[in-house]
Amino acid sequence: MRSVARLAPRYVTVHAAGGAAMVRAAVDAAPDVEVAAVTVLTSLGGAELAAVGFAGTPLDVVRRLAALAVAAGARAVVCSPWEVAAVRSEIGSDVTLITPGIRAAGSRPDDQARAATPAEAVDAGSDLLVVGRPIIAADDPGTAAARFVAGWRPGHGAADLV
């Protein structure tokens, strides 16, 4: 984390499942970087979580991991759009919520078990939206990005597309 901090990133992700001590160590090693704790990958549903040993629904696991990470000093949390409202309620408004699993309305979810449109994620309380494969896997990524941005309703909410 100290090595990465020298590059002056705004955010660095760590996995909240690494535990409070790991999150705290990352925060302490790079106090000027916003540590973003990844809760549960958007590609995992309830059955997959149970198979890797997590008890409870994805929502339960995400809420527990978000609370643990924020208590350990994380200033951002990564969670699917399905859990944003509950996480926001759990941890308050001072923490940045970063939301992957963003898909255009009517598009295929790929391997995402918990995905939503940009408007749905922002309406739920997301601050930053992560758009990956709908753009990078397109035949023409530039055109796909332009269409995605054109479909986004500017001023709809506070979230930014990243």
Ranges 38-42, 47-51, 65-69, 108-112: which has the least confidence:
108-112
- Calpha distance 6→91 (Å, rounded): 29
The DSSP H or E segment spanning 148 is helix 141-151
Query: Which residues form the domain of 144?
Result: 2-161
Q: How confident is the model at residue 159 (pLDDT cuts 50, 70, 90)?
A: low
- Say yes or no to pLDDT of 149 above 90: no
Q: What is the mean pLDDT of residues 47-51?
A: 90
- CA 69 vs. chain centroid, Å, equals 13
Q: What is the mean pLDDT of residues 31-48?
A: 91
Structurally, the chain folds into a number of domains equal to 1
CATH of the domain at 34: 3.20.20.70
Total-model pTM: 0.85
